[in-house]
Amino acid sequence: MSDSGSGGGYFWCLRHHRVESGDDICPAQYRLGPYATADEASHALETVEKRNADWDAEDARWNGEVS
């Protein structure tokens, strides 16, 4: 599947569990990115997990739940 307007780069496809780029990418609703390299895209889920944990910790600090 292709989706014009990808803006270049590499993406992690949530449907196919693979790195995609160029004209062979799934629609935006199924991908994470763009990433500068294929290696960064291949670690997209770990990046999301780390960012979510960081944001949850910041929310807890903001709400006074953690000292």
The model's pTM: 0.74
Can you give the pLDDT of all 67 residues of the chain as single tens digits?
A: 444 445 689 999 999 999 999 998 999 999 999 999 999 999 999 999 999 999 999 999 999 887 5
What is the per-residue pLDDT for 47? 96
Structure token pair of residue 54: 């960081």
User: How far is 40 from 47, CA to CA, in rounded Å?
Assistant: 9
What is the per-residue pLDDT for 67? 56
What is the per-residue pLDDT for 57? 94
What is the per-residue pLDDT for 4? 44
